[in-house]
Copies of this chain bind each other. A is one copy, B any other.
Amino acid sequence: MSRLTTFQTKEIQQTETEMVRFVREHTNNQRLQESMLYSIDAGGKRIRPLLLLATIASFNKEISLGGYQTAAALEMIHTYSLIHDDLPAMDNDDLRRGKPTNHKVYGDAMAILAGDGLLTLAFELVSMAEIEPTEKVLLLQLLAKASGTHGMVAGQAADMQAEGNKLSIEELMAIHQRKTGALIRFAVVAGGILANQSEGTLEKLDQLAKHLGLAFQIRDDLLDVVSTTEELGKETNRDELLEKSTYPGLLGLEGAKKALTDELTAAEAILNELALLSTFDAELLKEVCGLFYL
């Protein structure tokens, strides 16, 4: 097994345990709990917790309980956003990670509440985490910014408004920097904060995460075109159906593949710079970058 596979197995499992434990212990309604756990248990790539935890580990720091709790909260926010995005009023998706979407199983009303519940639980979890108060407040500020109306929610609104309009590549990037980029930047920067890094290093980590965020989105757009529903576990060619602008749509298939490689090359260059710090080992995050290739 590669170092990454070992890391993923152990650390993602811990994060999932923390998520499930917190949902079970902090929910006062059975059906609501089932609905939230259904979407958490559906799995997924857990790329955000992986980035957060791999960043901590790259500074040769042991991952504390507070790290797992922050990673769990981040994945809860991602999970809530999928539940709400899949609703009939939004993207109207029936399938997610090879399973019926939350609202297909629990109904629209419960799916709305499951999303609201996971979003609120994420803030509860960080607010109760084993993290020193000043650092905790900083993480809460950054998490709220990344997931809220500067970040993910604003990007989702812009994405929805853009349906049916042909965007420029700059407009498309501006949407994705909020919609998916902001949470990925939080993941990497939060890892740096939990590893007690300096402002300068956090700034470098943020640059790294910007490239990874774009790579993630370009790859996602490409998979929507080149995969089958079976491979992807969700319906494909949805972007075309929803008349969404995409990287392959704007740049062509080869152009999008090149853009993906360019972003990952830029990310790896920053990792090499970070590796000049004696405390930073770039190998694990380079392996994570490898996951972002097609």
Contacts and interface: CB of A to CB of B under 8 A. Distances in A.
Contacts of A23: 149
State the oligomeric state as a number of copies: 2
A181 to B, nearest CB: 12
Contacts of A155: 29
A274 B41 CA distance: 48
Contacts of A149: 23, 26-29, 32-33, 36, 117, 120-121
> How many of chain A's residues touch chain B, expressed as a range?
35 or more
Contacts of A238: none
Contacts of A117: 148-149, 153-154
Contact of A128 (B26, B29, B119, B141): B141
A63 interface: no
B153 A124 contact: no
Contact of A150 (B26, B113, B115): B26
Sort A-B residue pairs by CB-CB distance and give the 9 closest, nearest first: A120-B148, A124-B144, A89-B108, A27-B149, A29-B154, A32-B157, A127-B140, A133-B133, A28-B154
Contact of A133 (B124, B134, B154): B134
Contact of A140 (B27, B108, B140, B158): B140
Contacts of A115: 116
B153 A116 contact: yes
A216 interface: no
A172 to B, nearest CB: 15
Contacts of A141: 124, 127-128
A284 interface: no
Contact of A28 (B28, B36, B109, B178): B178
A90 B112 contact: yes
Contacts of A123: 123, 140, 144
Interface string A82-125: 00100101100000000000000001111011011101110110
A156 interface: yes
A119 B123 CA distance: 10
Interface in A130-156: 133-134, 136-137, 140-141, 144-145, 147-151, 153-156
